[in-house]
Amino acid sequence: MDPLTLLREYTIRNSLDKIVRVNDEFRFGTDYSFPATIETAYRSKHVQQTRRYTLETLVHFITNHHLKHTDYIQNARALRIPAVTLPDRKPLLDYLTGKVQSSDSILPLDFPNINPQITNLDRNVQNDASHAVGLESGNKAIELIMAKEKPIKDREAMLVFKKRDFYSVLTSATKRDEERQRMEALQRKDNIVAKNRIESRGFGVGEEATKMRKIGEGVPIILVPSAFSTLITIYNVKEFLEDGVFIPTDVKLKQVKGGKPDCVTVQKKFSRDRVVTAYEVRDKPSALKSDDWDRVVAVFVLGKEWQFKDWPFKDHVEIFNKILGFYMRFEDDSVESAKTVKQWNVKIISISKNKRHQDRAAALEVWDKLEEFMRSRSR
């Protein structure tokens, strides 16, 4: 199935939260995955650019189509994602949401894509190559092409640069490796802290410990959306809450080694308190058991109704009476983007798009509200 058709199906059945970006590819549930920069069959009608939109562009557009076009363009530029042009917005949205069945902007992709530079080969070489392929001799075709090539540099010459050496490359790679090892060590330490807190409260292995367990005891849980259209995700929540620094999810994805974590442990590290509470951050509410829901203390909301589908609460009033809600936004976002959220009992946290030194104050505001909520909950 091509990525455009698949994205349309996920949009129509309100399953965009199941589209997850991992490194440089988008995963559609557990069935399909495509490179983020793959071209789709949808072509721009803009007079000056008859290009195909990439999957990255379409996913970003459909998850942010509620924004005004100027706000959407700014958001796309901040994330360095090519944007959908204004003339294409409505017809593209109508197609993806199922209002129309087809569009004259859809031009099926030819597969495989042949590099147009190959057409510059000598006609005789093309004929010889075709003849070789016809004889099921692919190696001969390659040899014919290579015979027409003129080597400019060998692999040793490629390593020679004036005024440059590879020491800086080695140093940079070493620093990244040291940083990765440091983060892994901190993660292991946080997991040990969380485990010790559980055991210190009487949650050992065995039936007796299970009987003694009280409702809501254990490591508190903070839920974050799995959709990439929100500012805080499981990828960047640790840096924001622990270090007071907001790092866009797409930037963090390029730094992450391995798959997506099921759980991240966070603590308030910039605190004078001697006792620091550990929190589990998760983004899969469907994986929570009934006992786990008793430990949920906070949620970062996406601003969409479908985020709370299948939650064990009857409505938003009950949810935000029992769970502390946060909504993260850029301070210059349109008021319209937070229109739904303002009807809920959630705390809106605003951060700057560029002034990273202000992130710490926003993170402290989250911690203050969370600690106040935890004190009221324990009374």
Within a domain: 173? no
Distance CA 41, CA 53 (A): 8
Same-domain status, 231 and 364? yes
CA–CA separation, 309 and 317 (whole Å): 15
> Is residue 201 situated within a structural domain?
no
Encode pLDDT of 238-260 as tens digits. Answer: 999 998 999 998 888 888 777 78
Query: What span, in angstroms and rounded, lies between the C-alpha atoms of 99 and 95?
Result: 6
Phi, psi at 106, each rounded to 5°: -85, 120
Residue type, 71: D
| Predicted local distance difference test score (pLDDT) of residue 140 | 62
Could you tell me if residue 107 is inside a domain?
no
Does residue 166 lie within any of the structural domains?
A: no
User: Do 259 and 22 form a contact (C-beta atoms < 8 A)?
Assistant: yes
pLDDT in tens, 227-236: 888 899 999 9
User: What is residue 29's predicted lDDT score, i.e. its pLDDT?
Assistant: 86
Q: Domain for residue 61, yes or no?
A: yes
Kindly report the CATH number assigned to the domain that includes residue 331: 3.40.50.11990
Nearest to 219 by CA among 169, 283, 151, 265: 265
Per-residue pLDDT of the chain (379 residues; tens, 9 = 90+): 788 999 999 999 898 988 999 888 999 888 788 999 999 989 887 655 568 899 999 999 999 999 999 999 999 998 999 999 999 999 999 999 999 988 888 887 754 443 333 334 444 545 554 544 444 455 666 776 666 666 666 666 666 666 566 667 777 788 888 877 777 776 666 556 555 655 555 544 344 334 334 445 678 999 999 888 889 999 999 999 998 999 998 888 888 777 788 899 998 876 555 456 789 999 999 889 888 899 999 999 988 888 888 899 988 889 999 999 999 999 888 767 678 888 899 999 999 988 888 899 999 999 999 999 988 877 6
As a whole number of angstroms, the distance between CA 10 and CA 15 comes to: 5
Q: Cα(49)–Cα(85) distance, rounded to whole angstroms? A: 10
Compute the residue count for the chain: 379
d(CA 165, CA 172): 13
126 sits in which H/E element = helix 123-134
Domain boundary among 97, 115, 147: 97
Whether residue 148 is contained in a domain is answered as no
Domain count, the chain: 2
Q: Which domain holds residue 30?
A: 3-97
For residue 209, tell me if it sits in a domain: no
Which residue, 97, 130, 160, sits at the end of a domain? 97
Q: Which of 42, 72, 97 is the last residue of a domain?
A: 97
Q: Is the peptide bond before 112 cis (omega within 30 degrees of 0)?
A: yes
Question: 116 in a domain, yes or no?
Answer: no
Give the integer Cα–Cα distance in Å for 370 and 266.
13
Distance CA 279, CA 326 (A): 16
